[in-house]
Chain A
């Protein structure tokens, strides 16, 4: 069955631009804080992958579930985790989304639908199936999106999860953000065949899309989310994208050919979308400049908030381990 290709209209494109700008600028702010020694964190920049998350989120309802990984800033902001709570969590402060107890690799914010952020490659997918199973049994109409990288498609849980989701027709979208490198190893050196083709083996549709093209990414996401919501089961999306900053902060990414990096940066998807909005008359230069300025203001406020928030009390070490603090712990 084919679906009407619900295209991103002007409103959606502006929304995607607003989200991707917030992500891009927040990432730049965090890297600045790390560079100046104001923040110490294991940080995995999503710079370059903004459009994938922003376009996917533009197709989701507020109560839909998202599962993501340690490179998750873009997914968190796109789904609506408040920037102040997110920033305070990066600083390990009590006003963080998880009281400073999870950190940037473990963001949870149920109010925004962000249920799990895992630091273990490939671990989000089996858990996403469970969230989707709960929705299926409750008939609550929610869709679960599980984000992962190209490297995660080689771990067993990817295959186990795709099989189970397809068997049970779970309302889940498997969103592979293929940034062409699994840590330091190029995808073609560690992944046999095409990722999208693996969908066939599990009897589910696979969509290969340019994740940096907001209209194409929106259409792919829309199709997969609608299928899931209509009870037709899971979809695998392979969104091709690129990361500009190496695997983790401080990685010089010497394994990426210089020309490849230069070409990717020349095609930076966020300024490209900005230009497209103006060129098509969807927004004026002043309007996009305001979006840019609003993001900068919001980020500055969040950084101040996070820096001023206190550290959690050390008594927090024994709370939340179990539902009740155990005696003699």
Chain B
């Protein structure tokens, strides 16, 4: 099976969606072919193939997100690109006050089936304003769905699921891994709200999503040599998250670690940890541990940035903390 990059997975998902449904529109900064087909090449070839359905926009995040809201209300399926997740702050009114609330406030008269693609993540020396993961902000807003894939197959399948979903979806691509390759089976599908058990284990469950899943898998491999069996659950969809799969895994292993790239405080891991305690307190052998990034601004200097980020060492230490209690 041919391997493709995550960026190519995005391109294929958009191409197939646009070919299948004439209501799918793509717009954002630099996305058309004369402008390079997106800074990662994720939209390459699409404007040549689909004409005005693919448009480069001015650097105007409110206008981009607003046009996506309006087009979606009018019955289209727009895929708007907000180049980097930090720039979502500029478009927050459109996303939080309008995309998320319109279905409810209209009593179900109008829907907003839009997808906002955005990208972020630390580890590339981009400093404080181009590296943040804000999925917890968005997951906290009723009405939004939030998706963070960790590999090429899921990135392609989940993006298509977002595009054809009838709710507003925020699709977060992690900058650092966009040129990583992976196999993408032709008929592979990934529904929203369903987690994937990426590795089965019996001693402790790691529940995460996005790039840190790769580190969780590496740590699981390392600890297997010691006879420690780690189960890795890739949530894939942050909101709504797959409680059934998570509870089933933790009921089996009786120990859990939550893992994400965003800072630990008030993060998605706090919600998952709390829910595990509510549902499985009597079966747990140890308190749920949380791993994420340090509560600071993403720094520029390389050693500081590495220190800020989650790491395989931090994941391993969290696993060992859960194993201290028998």
Contacts and interface: CB of A to CB of B under 8 A. Distances in A.
A binds B: yes
Interface of A: 65, 67, 96-103, 106, 108-110, 115-116, 118-120, 123, 125-137, 144, 156-157, 160-161, 163-164, 167-168, 319-323, 326-328
B74 interface: yes
B104 A321 contact: yes
A326 B194 CA distance: 13
A106 B102 CA distance: 9
A110 B63 contact: no
Contact of B66 (A98, A135, A157): A157
A49 B75 CA distance: 32
A67 B74 CA distance: 12
A105 B160 CA distance: 35
A98 B57 contact: no
B71 to A, nearest CB: 4
Given A116-B73, A133-B25, A160 B108 contact: no
B108 A319 contact: yes
Nearest to A100: B107
A128 B70 contact: yes
B66 A129 contact: yes
A101 B105 contact: yes
Contact of A134 (B75, B105, B165): B75
Nearest to A67: B70
Contacts of A157: 62-63, 66, 93
Interface of B: 25, 52-53, 55, 57-58, 60, 62-63, 65-76, 78, 93-94, 97-98, 102-111, 142-143, 145, 165-167, 193, 240, 243
Contacts of B75: 134
Given A134-B70, A157-B62, A96 B107 contact: yes
B23 to A, nearest CB: 8
Contacts of B67: 126-127, 129-130, 133, 164
25 contacts: A96-B107, A98-B109, A101-B104, A101-B106, A101-B107, A102-B104, A123-B93, A123-B98, A129-B66, A134-B70, A134-B76, A137-B53, A157-B63, A160-B60, A160-B66, A161-B66, A164-B58, A164-B63, A320-B103, A320-B108, A321-B103, A321-B104, A321-B142, A322-B103, A326-B240
Given A110-B109, A126-B94, A319-B108, A65 B60 contact: no
B94 A123 contact: yes
Contacts of A326: 193, 240
A130 B66 CA distance: 7
A320 B74 contact: no
Contacts of A125: 66
A17 B105 CA distance: 31
B142 A160 contact: no
Contacts of A110: 109-110
Contacts of A101: 104-107
A310 to B, nearest CB: 14
B71 A108 contact: no
Given A133-B70, A160-B62, A127 B94 contact: yes
A150 B250 CA distance: 57
A125 B103 CA distance: 19
A67 B76 CA distance: 17
Contact of A164 (B60, B71, B97, B110): B60
Contact of B70 (A103, A119, A132, A320): A132
Contact of A133 (B71, B97, B193, B243): B71
Q: Which 3 A-B residue pairs are closest in the complex by CB-CB distance?
A: A130-B70, A126-B66, A134-B74
B58 to A, nearest CB: 6
Given A108-B105, A127-B98, A328-B243, 17 more contacts: A65-B74, A97-B107, A101-B105, A101-B107, A116-B70, A118-B98, A126-B66, A126-B67, A129-B66, A133-B70, A157-B63, A161-B66, A163-B58, A321-B104, A321-B142, A322-B167, A323-B103
Given A129-B63, A161-B63, A323-B103, A115 B143 contact: no
B302 to A, nearest CB: 35
Interface-centre pick from A97, A101, A130, A135 (highest chain B CB count, 10 A)? A130
Given A132-B70, A323-B167, A102 B78 contact: no
A67 B53 CA distance: 23
A284 to B, nearest CB: 41
Contacts of B102: 108, 116
Given A97-B109, A109-B109, A115-B74, A127 B66 contact: yes
Contacts of B62: 126, 156-157, 160-161
Contact of A160 (B25, B63, B109, B165): B63
B76 A137 contact: yes
Given A123-B94, A137-B52, A167-B58, A323 B111 contact: yes
Contact of A130 (B58, B78, B108): B78
A127 B109 contact: no
A167 B67 CA distance: 13
A127 B69 contact: yes
A328 to B, nearest CB: 5
B70 A108 contact: no
A197 B102 CA distance: 33
B109 A163 contact: no
Contact of A129 (B70, B76, B97, B104): B70
Given A98-B109, A106-B106, A322-B143, A131 B243 contact: no
